[in-house]
Amino acid sequence: MIIDVTDLHKSFGDHEVLAGINCSVAEQEVVCVIGPSGSGKSTFLRCLNLLEEVTSGEVVIDGHSLTDRRVKIDAVRAEIGMVFQQFNLFPHKSVIENIMLAPMKVRRLSKAAARDRGRALLKKVGLEEKENAYPGSLSGGQQQRVAIARALAMEPKIMLFDEPTSSLDPELVGEVLAVMKNLALEGMTMVVVTHEMGFAREVGDRVLFMDGGVLVEEGSPQEIFDNPQHERTQAFLNKVL
Ligand code: ADP
Ligand code: MG
């Protein structure tokens, strides 16, 4: 298991947002997380790469316990790529510069090597001709594909996606999901918070349904979408499908 979460609790003040999550993810697995707004999906993802400090419980990433004081958090974090709803590209840097930045700074790659890697990744996400463009001149779908390439430039072992298509116009959603699907087919380990039930059904190996800070139900896409066991899962799916 490349991700192993045991009894994860997270509170903000006296508001308990995650109330004991147990979950593990195997290498090369694609896990889609669904659930209503406010159920703790983003907080859960953020705990996986320590963007949030956990209140209690354990998160083990690739054998490193994130709550162990001796763990090199930055090294573990560098193994995890994250893509958010907002693309967070640097507006004053070109597309290729956005992608080259972290590998040069964190991985100590030479400029030439970072550029080569960036070009290969732009090709992978179908944007090789946008190398010198600035983010502001790109569509939302293109910007999100750059953000995915930027995350991949660190050669992460795990990719976390938090509603990567939620801010996009409907006609741009497909191009981003296609890039994510290819990544899944290549064997990337992925945890994807999404409202795209078609993607979860087609690409997900497993679907987790969260509500009220707990993992209510998990199973194969067929189990969750065609035969949900819990009333809360059924009620949620009735609203969104
Ligand atoms: P989801 O992604 O499922 O919509 P979130 O993880 O964003 O849910 O939020 C779960 C709950 O935690 C919400 O009630 C939200 O207001 C609260 N929350 C999230 N982040 C913070 C924070 N930094 N401080 C206080 N409350 C927060
Ligand atoms: Mg969220």
For residue 13, give the ligand 1 atom closest to its CA: 25
Nearest CA to ligand 1 atom 22: 12
Beta bridge partners of 159: 81, 190
Reported pTM: 0.97
Q: In angstroms, rounded to a whole number, what is the distance separating the alpha carbons of residues 158 and 39?
A: 23
The alpha-helical segments, DSSP class H, found in the chain are 41-48, 73-77, 95-105, 111-124, 140-152, 170-185, 197-203, 221-226, 231-240
Q: How far is the CA of 38 from the centre of ligand 1 (A)?
A: 6
Nearest listed ligand to the Cα of residue 210: 1
- Sorting pLDDT into bands at 50, 70 and 90, what band is 91? very high
pLDDT value for 75: 87
The answer on pLDDT for 68 being more than 90 is no
- How far is residue 231 from each of residues 181, 211, 216, 235, 236, measured CA to CA in Å? 30, 11, 10, 6, 9
Mutate to test the pocket of ligand 1, among 12, 86, 194 (most ligand atoms within 8 A of CB): 12
Q: How far is the CA of 83 from the centre of ligand 2 (A)?
A: 12
The answer on pLDDT for 198 being more than 90 is yes
Residues 137-192 have pLDDT tens digits of 999 999 999 999 999 999 999 999 999 999 999 999 999 999 999 999 999 999 99
Residues with C-beta less than 6 Å from any ligand 1 atom: 12, 17, 35, 37-43
Q: How far is the CA of 97 from the centre of ligand 1 (A)?
A: 32
The answer on pLDDT for 67 being more than 90 is no
- How far is residue 96 from each of residues 81, 117, 128, 132, 228, measured CA to CA in Å? 17, 10, 9, 6, 44
